[in-house]
Amino acid sequence: MDELDSALLRMLQEDGRRTNREMAQALGIAPSTCLERIRSLRQRGILTGFHADVDLAAIGRGLQAVIAVRVRPPTRSAIEAFQSFLERMPEVISVFVLTGNDDFLIHVAVRDTDHLHAVVLDKLTKRPELADVRTSVVYGHMRRKVVGPA
């Protein structure tokens, strides 16, 4: 990673729809150089994909929550089975696998409190490996849009 790679990453994170020509012009490099650098970032696994941000409230999923859970027994098979279950839940936005008191933090987006209640009671707590569940409603969420190298 050099300065040019970092600048390309920053530009793509700020606006992934920028054209190759626009980025090349902003950086003062040839479009072919820009294209080759982006290809290299993808091949090295630094750029892992492009996506569109969605307004969750606009698609009927305006209530977000973070659910902390403990799995017992804390074995690889129990953890992997639970994680696989979470991957199939449409309400799940992201999952963090942790050390410490909790094994997972699950970020969900749902219609309303009734939907959240159903997710916790009808889906999560029915899992035999679940030992503890704590739910926190999210009032606000900030996500850094641009992340540079350390």
User: Tens-of-pLDDT digits for all 150 residues of the chain?
Assistant: 899 999 999 999 999 999 999 999 999 999 999 999 999 999 999 999 988 889 999 999 999 999 999 999 989 999 999 999 999 999 999 999 999 999 999 999 999 999 999 999 999 999 999 999 999 999 998 888 889 888
CA 112 to chain centre: 21
Which pLDDT belongs to residue 103? 95
Distance CA 118, CA 139 (A): 20
d(CA 40, CA 48): 11
Check: CB of residue 107 under 8 Å from CB of residue 114: no
What's the helix, strand, coil split of the chain in %, to 5?
40, 20, 40
pLDDT, residue 52, reads 85
pTM of the predicted protein model = 0.85
Domain with CATH 1.10.10.10 in the chain: 3-43
Residue where the block lists tokens 């959240």: 116
3-43 CATH fold: Arc Repressor Mutant, subunit A (1.10.10)
pLDDT for residue 56 = 95
Start-end of CATH 3.30.70.920 domains in the chain = 57-138
Cα(21)–Cα(34) distance, integer angstroms = 8
Instruction: Look up the CATH architecture of domain 57-138.
Output: 2-Layer Sandwich (3.30)
DSSP state of 59: G
Judge residue 125's burial from the number of C-beta atoms within 10 Å of its C-beta, 0-12 exposed, 13-18 middle, 19 or more buried. exposed
